[in-house]
Chain A
Amino acid sequence: MGMIDLTRVLRPHPVRAPASGISRRRSLWERIHLDPWLLGMLLLLMASGLVVLYSASGQRLEAVIAQGIRFGVALAVMFFLAQLTPSTLLRWALAVYLLGVLLLVAVELFGDVGMGAQRWLVIPGVIRFQPSEMMKLAVPLMVAAYLSRQELPPRLRDIAVCVVLIAVPVVLIARQPDLGTSLLVTSAAVFVVLLAGLSWRFIAALAVIAAAALPLLWMNLHNYQRQRVLTFLDPNSDPLGSGWNIIQSTTAIGSGGVFGKGWLQGTQSQLEFLPERHTDFIVAVLGEEFGLVGIVAILLLYLLIISRGLWLAAGAQDTFGRLVAGSIILTFFIYVFVNVGMVSGILPVVGVPLPLVSYGGTSSVTLMAGFGILMAIHAHRRLLPR
């Protein structure tokens, strides 16, 4: 049995469901490689998101429809990725990673400037594309693919390779500048390394180095990024400038109280005091109109999704699958934590959306692509006794 397991790890080839006799017993869900529980909760989250979005967009039905269409696209992407086998993903990991890095370099050279940052790659008339977004999946896939071929827990040499694999795209993204995405890419990749069993001594050492590197990071931040951190420390230092967002969002949430002001009744939200209320700050609308009850309900839904995701990850039958699945679901949590933490004023303002609630196509597609991969890993496990 040990031998069998070993071959599986070293040679994680696609393993089709073996006997046709078994396939007869498979349910519809298994045949389409989707997890009904996870999908159900995601759909519930999307539906709740659309309800909040209708209010947050100033009751513009077009925004809700546009978001619905994006969700449709995202679900299609999820469905497609769920059909791939983990071995396909493993095979393509390096190619996708290299393509991503290449595109990031292209952004650096020819990128389109939008909203003060150079993030978009535009082939005129064809496509507008944000390569950093695909790196949220490509980097953890690459790191997991690498580590899954090594003995675990990883050795120092492996860690060094991983650091290079992570650092190249993250530096390129941070230069755009896009703090939020580089943070998410880093955490996704670091989760892979942590779940692979990075030794505690190493983690402690890394923490020390990170703390020591903080001043260096500070010196390399853009002025507006520094300003955000300073504002986070004292929002009232510039109440009409960069502090405005945080003051208005905490005011919105705080004034919501336990039960909220009611759907479409939030004065902060409806009277446009709240900035970016339908994108990054949408949770403030939720908090104002649905109160503590509303936010806690959504947070519990997130917790359920994360728990289910981790359960699925733990059930994956090879290291690559486990690492990828675990990283995807934990990164999903990072989205939630950073976004809610920022809007409620316990974290500095970083451009991270509230997953599947904030208005925006790219992040929804990326997130659902992640869930597609997660489901693929889950659905394609070999049904063998332990």
Chain B
Amino acid sequence: MRKNRDNLKSPEQALRIFRVRALLAVVLVFAMTGLLMGRLAYLQVVQHEVYSTRSEKNRVRVEPLPPTRGLIYDRNGVLLAENRPTYNLTLVRERVDDLDATLALLVELLELSDEEAEAFRLRSRQRQRPFQPALLMSDLDEDQIARVSVNRHLLPGVEVEAQLLRFYPDAEVMAHALGYVGRINAEELATLDTGRYAGTHFMGKTGVERFYEDELHGQAGLRKVETNARGRVLRELGRTDPVPGQHLTLTIDRKMQKLAYELMDGRRGSIVAVAPQTGEILAMVSAPGFDSNQFVTGIDVASYRALQENLDLPLYNRAIRGHYPPGSTIKPFLAFAGLAEGVITPDRAIHDPGFYQLPNDSRRYRNWLRWGHGRVDMERSIAVSNNTYYYSLAHELGIDRLHDNMSAFGFGQRVGHDIFGESTALMPSRDWKRGRFNQPWYPGETLSVGIGQGYWQVTPLQLATATAVLANRGQWVKPRLASRIGDSPVPERVPETPPDIEIPNDAWWDRIFSGMEKVMTGHEGTARRTGVGLEYRMAGKSGTAQVFSLGQDQRYNAEELAERLRDHALFMAFAPTDDPQIAVSVIVENAGGGSTHAAHLARAMTDAWLLRDREPDVEELREAMEDDDGRVAGN
């Protein structure tokens, strides 16, 4: 080259160089264009399928169409759970130009407090899939909707979306029976059928809502839509409609439920009413209740803590989970056990000196009436609620036969047909005690169980069920909450109902019932005040459950104790005796004597059901109860 430079400085040299280089450039240009074409051919021919699929996936989005949840009615068709449209404020961050400005404007428009505004900002920054709306606020009121709508042109990416939300018109009264729906949490999500629940954010958490979740929920549908890159739906390409949830008709009578809740009058306790022939639950109240609607949208922390820390335990479903010593309410069942096992006869009487003593034991097990009831036969033992009779009966039965006979009535077992979260409570036995405490069973403990104390614990639902079975003369029915799903009756479930209970002489049922009627109407019946003016035959039994055990021979005045240490009042009843239409169990915590308080409530329930045409006068009843509360009552 150097040699050339010296010799050849001619323009021809430059031209030649240029031509060589230009030719080289042409070759390079063609080669590089060939490379591009090769790349394009690779994309468009070799990989065409891959990219076609990807492009299709890009464009087509499958959107779930959540089904509408089935409604819940009471036995008369009154709506208990409905779906109400509510409006949520959502935000798609990708469509918002200036997030801070948008949020500031929203805070101003919705007149949020600083605290709310902060929560608002946090929610807007939650990690989301691109172009998925983030929920900023639920349940906007009309005023807020209007203000956001008017300013929509200033708020790109902000939408007000309609959503159906569960609403319970009688939330507080129905809370425990119906249960409620709430947001599906991560754990539940893992167990759910994602196809069925696509697009659904709520599911039944407790109660009927939970038990009949499958029926109420329905089946999600879906639609294929074409969207643009901003996620905006352009057109529908195909759809499968959702199958709405089925409506549920309950056995509950809203009027009865409401009455029962009002009867509790702010006290803690439970009332369960069952139709004995069918097992239909007419009312199932646990008081105090709570506003279950709060749980639908997600209860705020402060309100939830208030409910949790409330000493009255409003979230606690006493009707199916409350454990109460049954007290004397179980005396009719024990009388049955004695008859069935041949330990007693209806007519054989004992002499009650006011206490019972086990052989070779100096300890005295006291009757509630210090000086004793004297001669006591079976019917009188029920009517006056004599303890000594049952100490003796229990001792002669022994814990094994006692346990088996009581289990036959459902004590210590889950009795409901379609009850979610029911407790078994406890029917003690030798095996149970050995397993629990690794101790043998002592004869004295049988005596405690014999008067419904000691380890024995029942739920109000169990007591109502046992009362119904008793009223049915041993024929078993399982209590149930739902009568119809859609247009068909609720299917029976197997394994089914426990075996019916039999007694050697069918007339003996009447003798037990007679004792229970004397409770209401006998001259020394423990609930004779309640029985005044009965227009039908009613059989009942009172009971008192000690909140804590007191020392022997120590009487106490209920009024001297703090209210919460007072005895629980219990009552079980059914009516009419000859054709039972309703069986009731009533438990009023810390009420005092059972024959007064709880009995009045039971009578109010039977009156309301049997004398349906008449409006019950709750006020008058309340006065009667206050009148009675001052007196020292029988057990």
Interfacial residues, chain A to chain B (CB-CB below 8 A): 2, 5-6, 8-9, 151-153, 155, 191, 194-197, 199, 240, 248, 250-258, 267-268, 271-274, 287-288, 291-292, 295-296, 299, 302-303, 306-307, 310, 313-314, 318-319, 322-323, 326, 330, 333, 336-337, 340-341, 344-346
Q: Please indicate the chain A residues that have their CB under 8 angstroms from the CB of B40 in the complex.
A: 253, 287, 292, 295-296, 340, 344
Complex Cα spacing A268 to B229, Å: 9
Across the A-B interface, give the 5 residue pairs with the lowest CB-CB distance, nearest first: A254-B51, A255-B55, A197-B17, A271-B228, A254-B43
Write the chain B residue with the least CB distance to A253.
Answer: B43
Write the chain B residue with the least CB distance to A256.
Answer: B44
Complex Cα spacing A303 to B50, Å: 30
Binary per-residue interface labels of chain B (21-52) against chain A in the complex, 1 for a CB within 8 Å, 0 otherwise: 11001100110110111011101110110111
Q: Please indicate the chain B residues that have their CB under 8 angstroms from the CB of A314 in the complex.
A: 18-19, 22
CB-based contact A153/B37 at 8 Å = no
Chain A: minimal CB distance from B35 (Å): 8
Q: Please indicate the chain B residues that have their CB under 8 angstroms from the CB of A273 in the complex.
A: 55, 58-59, 228-229
B523 within 8 Å of A (CB atoms): no
Write the chain A residue with the least CB distance to B55.
Answer: A255
| Tier of interface size on chain B | 35 or more
Q: Please indicate the chain B residues that have their CB under 8 angstroms from the CB of A336 in the complex.
A: 33
CB-based contact A267/B58 at 8 Å = yes
CB-based contact B14/A152 at 8 Å = yes
Interfacial residues, chain B to chain A (CB-CB below 8 A): 1, 5, 9-15, 17-19, 21-22, 25-26, 29-30, 32-33, 35-37, 39-41, 43-45, 47-48, 50-52, 54-56, 58-59, 130, 226-230, 234
Chain A: minimal CB distance from B281 (Å): 54
List 28 A-B residue pairs with CB atoms under 8 Å apart, sorted by A's residue number: A5-B10, A5-B12, A194-B21, A195-B22, A195-B25, A197-B21, A240-B130, A248-B229, A250-B43, A255-B51, A255-B54, A255-B56, A258-B44, A258-B45, A267-B59, A267-B226, A273-B58, A287-B44, A292-B41, A292-B44, A295-B40, A295-B44, A296-B37, A296-B40, A303-B29, A306-B26, A310-B22, A341-B39
Write the chain A residue with the least CB distance to B13.
Answer: A152
Complex Cα spacing A194 to B130, Å: 49
CB-based contact B14/A272 at 8 Å = no
Given A195-B25, A251-B51, A303-B33, 4 further pairs, Cβ under 8 A: A274-B229, A291-B44, A292-B40, A330-B25
CB-based contact B30/A303 at 8 Å = yes
Question: B55 touches which one: A6, A196, A267 (CB < 8 A)?
Answer: A267
Write the chain A residue with the least CB distance to B1.
Answer: A199
Q: Please indicate the chain A residues that have their CB under 8 angstroms from the CB of B26 in the complex.
A: 306-307, 310
Q: Please indicate the chain B residues that have their CB under 8 angstroms from the CB of A291 in the complex.
A: 44
Write the chain B residue with the least CB distance to A319.
Answer: B14
Question: B14 touches which one: A155, A197, A250, A303 (CB < 8 A)?
Answer: A197
CB-based contact A257/B44 at 8 Å = yes
Complex Cα spacing A163 to B55, Å: 47
CB-based contact A271/B226 at 8 Å = yes
Question: A153 touches which one: B5, B33, B50, B130 (CB < 8 A)?
Answer: B5
Q: Please indicate the chain B residues that have their CB under 8 angstroms from the CB of A306 in the complex.
A: 26, 29
CB-based contact B36/A254 at 8 Å = no
CB-based contact B5/A151 at 8 Å = yes
Q: How many A-B residue pairs have CB under 8 A?
A: 162
Grouping DSSP codes into helix (H, G, I), strand (E, B) and loop, the B interface class, with mixed when no group exceeds half, is helix
Complex Cα spacing A319 to B41, Å: 40
Chain A: minimal CB distance from B341 (Å): 77
Complex Cα spacing A337 to B47, Å: 21
Complex Cα spacing A272 to B44, Å: 20
Complex Cα spacing A199 to B21, Å: 11
Interface centre among B21, B29, B32 (most CB of A within 10 A): B29
CB-based contact B55/A268 at 8 Å = yes
Chain A: minimal CB distance from B7 (Å): 12
CB-based contact B228/A341 at 8 Å = no
Q: Please indicate the chain B residues that have their CB under 8 angstroms from the CB of A303 in the complex.
A: 29-30, 33
Write the chain B residue with the least CB distance to A195.
Answer: B21
Chain B: minimal CB distance from A256 (Å): 6
Complex Cα spacing A318 to B11, Å: 8
CB-based contact A302/B33 at 8 Å = yes
Q: Please indicate the chain A residues that have their CB under 8 angstroms from the CB of B48 in the complex.
A: 254-255, 257-258
Q: Please indicate the chain A residues that have their CB under 8 angstroms from the CB of B50 in the complex.
A: 254
Complex Cα spacing A254 to B49, Å: 8
Chain A: minimal CB distance from B233 (Å): 11
Q: Please indicate the chain B residues that have their CB under 8 angstroms from the CB of A310 in the complex.
A: 22, 25-26
Q: Please indicate the chain A residues that have their CB under 8 angstroms from the CB of B15 in the complex.
A: 319, 322
Complex Cα spacing A65 to B215, Å: 61
Q: Please indicate the chain B residues that have their CB under 8 angstroms from the CB of A151 in the complex.
A: 5, 9
Q: Please indicate the chain A residues that have their CB under 8 angstroms from the CB of B36 in the complex.
A: 299, 337, 340-341, 344, 346
Complex Cα spacing A252 to B58, Å: 10
Write the chain A residue with the least CB distance to B18.
Answer: A322
CB-based contact B37/A330 at 8 Å = no
Interface centre among A153, A254, A272 (most CB of B within 10 A): A254
Chain B: minimal CB distance from A42 (Å): 17
Question: A251 touches which one: B14, B55, B230 (CB < 8 A)?
Answer: B55
Q: Please indicate the chain B residues that have their CB under 8 angstroms from the CB of A337 in the complex.
A: 32-33, 36
CB-based contact A292/B45 at 8 Å = yes
Chain A: minimal CB distance from B466 (Å): 63
Interface centre among B9, B21, B228 (most CB of A within 10 A): B21
Complex Cα spacing A310 to B14, Å: 16
Write the chain A residue with the least CB distance to B43.
Answer: A254
CB-based contact B25/A272 at 8 Å = no
Write the chain B residue with the least CB distance to A295.
Answer: B40
Complex Cα spacing A9 to B234, Å: 66
Complex Cα spacing A319 to B29, Å: 22
Complex Cα spacing A268 to B227, Å: 11
Write the chain A residue with the least CB distance to B50.
Answer: A254
Report if A6-B11 is in contact (Cβ < 8 Å); known contacts: A195-B21, A337-B32: yes
Q: Please indicate the chain B residues that have their CB under 8 angstroms from the CB of A248 in the complex.
A: 58, 229
Report if A5-B11 is in contact (Cβ < 8 Å); known contacts: A251-B58, A271-B227, A330-B25: yes
Write the chain B residue with the least CB distance to A5.
Answer: B11
Chain A: minimal CB distance from B191 (Å): 31
Chain B: minimal CB distance from A355 (Å): 14
Q: Please indicate the chain B residues that have their CB under 8 angstroms from the CB of A196 in the complex.
A: 14, 17-18
CB-based contact B44/A271 at 8 Å = no
Chain B: minimal CB distance from A384 (Å): 13
Q: Please indicate the chain A residues that have their CB under 8 angstroms from the CB of B22 in the complex.
A: 195, 310, 313-314, 326
Complex Cα spacing A194 to B25, Å: 10
CB-based contact A268/B21 at 8 Å = no
Chain B: minimal CB distance from A196 (Å): 7
Write the chain B residue with the least CB distance to A4.
Answer: B11
Complex Cα spacing A199 to B186, Å: 71
Interface centre among B11, B13, B50, B230 (most CB of A within 10 A): B11
Question: A272 touches which one: B1, B12, B19, B229 (CB < 8 A)?
Answer: B229
Chain A: minimal CB distance from B577 (Å): 75
Q: Please indicate the chain A residues that have their CB under 8 angstroms from the CB of B228 in the complex.
A: 271-273
Q: Please indicate the chain B residues that have their CB under 8 angstroms from the CB of A268 in the complex.
A: 55, 58-59
Q: Please indicate the chain A residues that have their CB under 8 angstroms from the CB of B226 in the complex.
A: 267, 271
CB-based contact B41/A254 at 8 Å = no
Report if A251-B21 is in contact (Cβ < 8 Å); known contacts: A8-B11, A152-B14, A299-B37: no
Write the chain B residue with the least CB distance to A201.
Answer: B1
Question: B51 touches which one: A250, A323, A330 (CB < 8 A)?
Answer: A250
Q: Please indicate the chain B residues that have their CB under 8 angstroms from the CB of A258 in the complex.
A: 44-45, 48
Complex Cα spacing A181 to B35, Å: 23
CB-based contact A9/B14 at 8 Å = yes
Q: Please indicate the chain B residues that have their CB under 8 angstroms from the CB of A250 in the complex.
A: 43, 51
Complex Cα spacing A250 to B51, Å: 8
CB-based contact A254/B11 at 8 Å = no
Chain B: minimal CB distance from A260 (Å): 9
Q: Please indicate the chain A residues that have their CB under 8 angstroms from the CB of B45 in the complex.
A: 257-258, 292
Write the chain B residue with the least CB distance to A255.
Answer: B55
Write the chain B residue with the least CB distance to A153.
Answer: B17
Interface centre among B12, B47, B51, B228 (most CB of A within 10 A): B51
Chain B: minimal CB distance from A172 (Å): 28
